[in-house]
Amino acid sequence: MLFSAQTVITVLIAFSLVLYAYLKRKINTSAFIGTLTLGVFILLTLGLKFGYAGILALLAFFLFGNLVTRYKYDKKAKLGVAEGKKGMRDINNVLGNGLSPLFFALLYALPVSSPSHNTIFLLGFSGAVATACADTFSTEIGQAEGNPRLVTTLKKVPVGTNGGISLPGLCAALLGSGLISFVSLAFWFDLQMSTRTVFLLSCICLLSGFLGCITDSLLGATVEDKPFYKNRRVNKHHVNILATLFGGIFAIVLGYSFGIQ
């Protein structure tokens, strides 16, 4: 059998929901094509065993990320911090949140001397997606509810300031990261690990997503909108790529420190 039933079902559901989002103008054409392309690469790199779990994690982020964007959208629009075009995502959003998970999926696909060793990159993948979800939740809920302070100085700043954090935003980040941590159980159960190890991996995923979100805020406060080459500026999508990369690295480092192979 070329594909397992769970893979076929997951892919069909994912394609249907992405197509629905496109038809409802939640994503534009470039984001639609980019999302499908990303999904294909995830399937190819994570393979028959874990491809469906990778798609499931990205699908959870895609669905809940779009839903949380609608949270108090009118209030955020009045404040001038809402996503443009009523939250419609484009290819930049796909690349900003999808390149780092793809990077860890590619590392997983590389041949190594010990076949079990590269499973640590599944943790990196999960940490990167958890960071993307944590950051989206933190931004969308924090901007609607919080009184932000700059992460580097803790001084009060206007809503929407790069690097601003708030208690509601931080709680939302934990919620978003926890969501991906829960969905990523599909990886660990397939590896038939002990309950203790599965719990540890879930905690690492949750923590790395939260730390990645904090990293996003630090980068936002220090380098976002700053020139870096021939007057080109670091934008929020560049920051997202770096933050999700760090989230995955945090997950791998934490995994190694606890003896995960």
Chain segment 187-209, per-residue pLDDT in tens = 988 777 888 999 999 999 999 99
pLDDT of residue 113: 47
pLDDT of residue 23: 93
Per-residue model confidence as pLDDT tens digits over 235-248: 999 999 999 999 99
pLDDT of residue 244: 98
Domain positions in the chain: 5-257
Per-residue model confidence as pLDDT tens digits over 116-170: 567 899 999 999 999 999 999 999 999 998 789 999 999 999 998 999 999 999 9
This prediction has a pTM of 0.93
Q: Is 155 exposed, middle or buried (0-12, 13-18, 19+ CB in 10 A)?
A: exposed
pLDDT of residue 194: 85
**Mutual orientation of helices 29-69 and 91-109 as an angle, nearest 10°?**
100
- Residue 3's pLDDT band (cuts 50, 70, 90): low
pLDDT of residue 116: 56
What phi-psi label fits residue 141: left (phi over 0), alpha (psi between -120 and 50 degrees) or beta? alpha
What Rg, from alpha-carbon coordinates, does the chain have?
A: 18
Q: Tokens 């197509």 correspond to what residue?
A: 19
Q: What angle do CA 161, 162, 163 make, to 5 degrees?
A: 110
Summarize the confidence of residues 220-243 as an average pLDDT: 89
Summarize the confidence of residues 43-48 as an average pLDDT: 89
pLDDT of residue 26: 87
In 3D, which of 203, 171, 210 has the Cα closest to residue 185?
A: 203
Pairing of strands 164-165, 227-229: unpaired
In this structure, the number of other CB atoms found within 10 A of the CB of residue 206 comes to 25
pLDDT of 230 strictly over 80:
no
pLDDT of residue 112: 66
Quick check: 29 and 93 in contact, CB under 8 A?
Answer: no
Quick check: 116 and 56 in contact, CB under 8 A?
Answer: no
Q: How far apart, in whole angstroms, are the C-alpha atoms of residue 129 and residue 14? A: 16
Per-residue model confidence as pLDDT tens digits over 50-82: 999 999 999 999 999 988 988 888 888 888 887
